[in-house]
Amino acid sequence: MIIQFEQGIDEQQKSAIINRVKGLKYKPTEVTTQKGDYLIGTGKKDFDIRTIGYMDGIKDIHIVSDDYKLVSRKWKVKPTEIDLGDGVVIQEGGFQIMAGPCSIEGEDQIRKTIAHLKANGITIMRGGVYKPRSSPYSFRGLGIDGLKIWYELAKEAGIKIITEVMQVSQIAEMDPYVDIYQVGARNTQNFNLLDELGKNTDKPVMIKRGISGTIDELLSSAEYVFSGGNERLLLCERGIRTYEKATRNTMDLNAIPVLKEKTHLPVIADPSHGIGIRHLVEPIALASIMAGADGVIYETHEIPEEAFSDGQQTLNYPESDKMIDRLRKTFELRESF
Ligand code: PEP
Ligand code: MN
């Protein structure tokens, strides 16, 4: 069950509610986020909602039987909106485009990417400064110094930053320079990291689906962050590992409408990692719009062949220009339904 406490509930009212929940053999967990105060009850026994619902201090009570609760669509009528300020919002019914290189490589590359995004009216730039690489000998990112340079240039241009955080110790130093944290596919079940992103930042967090993760596991990962205290969350389908070898991953387009049904959080598609083959990124990106995604994130670089990472799935600027145009046309088509 989810109990939403009324604003200004007093301690006596709270403990009366908690005792009633315990009396039903439900385990109570208190959650406080930027937006509200909740009590999560986990248990099995059937109960009549009216035996609690009338109590003082309760704004609303819902029965949510899924393992994940706060991220479930079952209790939240209004889908979550991620407002990044300056009119940049990610929300159901809209379609946000986030683009940029796999890795941030230096000032010149940042400037060129920003110019490409601005020419296309895109306001969110992706890029990694901490890169999870399968080989320890591959380029592992410019780190915090790269992020600081990026931040200055992005701020000047009115561009927001989404970038991956790999470990707990990076959160404090990254926080002033990040608009959205990305949790990568290799870290989706790093529960310490998720806990800390719940407790120690108010910045939005986009959680990618684990390489071999199920949809429910992705939702449970989001529940970690929410129950830690941060409800500014987005989910990202980026392909999963299957027996198929023709593509880097298997983009699970099914996950998009399934997630939209299960959760109130925005759902983003990453066709670059989803298929991993440059000239096939566009059809998957377009398909993800029709599947109901609230946005797309993809990799672009002036010269993909020279990119420090993931060049094989990275669009050059003319390819990116063309795809942006088609994304917008496809979104208009979806809107017209
Ligand atoms: C990335 O976005 O460049 C990345 C490493 O993604 P993923 O975690 O999905 O592999
Ligand atoms: Mn990449």
Ligand 1 atom at minimum distance from 131 CA: 5
- pLDDT, residue 77, reads 85
113 is a domain residue: yes
57, 156: one domain? no
Strands 96-100, 124-126: pairing is parallel
Amino acid at 104: I
Please state, in angstroms and rounded to a whole number, the distance separating the CA atoms of residues 264 and 267.
Answer: 9
313 is a domain residue: yes
With a cut of 90, say whether residue 166 has pLDDT above it. Answer: yes
111, 8: one domain? no
152, 112: one domain? yes
55, 98: one domain? no
172, 252: one domain? yes
With a cut of 90, say whether residue 335 has pLDDT above it. Answer: yes
Protein residues with CB under 6 Å of any ligand 1 atom: 102, 128, 132, 184-186, 208, 238, 273
Please state, in angstroms and rounded to a whole number, the distance separating the CA atoms of residues 126 and 118.
Answer: 14
With a cut of 90, say whether residue 181 has pLDDT above it. Answer: yes
CA 260 to chain centre: 13
Residue pLDDT, tens place only, 187-237: 999 999 999 999 999 999 999 999 999 999 999 999 999 999 999 999 999
Please state, in angstroms and rounded to a whole number, the distance separating the CA atoms of residues 25 and 19.
Answer: 10
Gap from CA of 57 to ligand 1 centroid (Å): 43
Where residue 94 falls among pLDDT bands split at 50, 70, 90?
very high
195, 163: one domain? yes
94, 211: one domain? yes
Q: Average pLDDT of 127-153? A: 96
Ligand 1 atom at minimum distance from 126 CA: 2
58, 110: one domain? no
58, 204: one domain? no
Domain that holds residue 221: 82-336
Please state, in angstroms and rounded to a whole number, the distance separating the CA atoms of residues 267 and 235.
Answer: 5
Residue pLDDT, tens place only, 29-84: 999 999 999 999 999 888 899 999 999 999 999 999 899 999 999 999 899 999 99
Residue pLDDT, tens place only, 248-272: 999 999 999 999 999 999 999 999 9
The number of domains in the chain is 2
With a cut of 90, say whether residue 9 has pLDDT above it. Answer: yes
Gap from CA of 260 to ligand 2 centroid (Å): 24
Question: Ligand 1: which of 125, 238, 247 to mutate, judged by most atoms within 8 Å of the beta carbon?
Answer: 238
Residue nearest to atom 6 of ligand 1 (CA): 184
72 is a domain residue: no
227, 304: one domain? yes
Residue pLDDT, tens place only, 308-332: 999 999 999 999 999 999 999 999 9
* End-to-end Cα separation, the chain, in angstroms: 36
286 is a domain residue: yes
Domain containing 201 — which CATH number? 3.20.20.70
Question: Ligand 1: which of 183, 207, 270 to mutate, judged by most atoms within 8 Å of the beta carbon?
Answer: 270
Percent of the chain scored above 70 by pLDDT? Answer: 100
Ligand 1 atom at minimum distance from 184 CA: 8
230, 136: one domain? yes
Structural domain ending residue among the three candidates 33, 62, 91: 62
246, 278: one domain? yes
Q: Average pLDDT of 92-104? A: 97
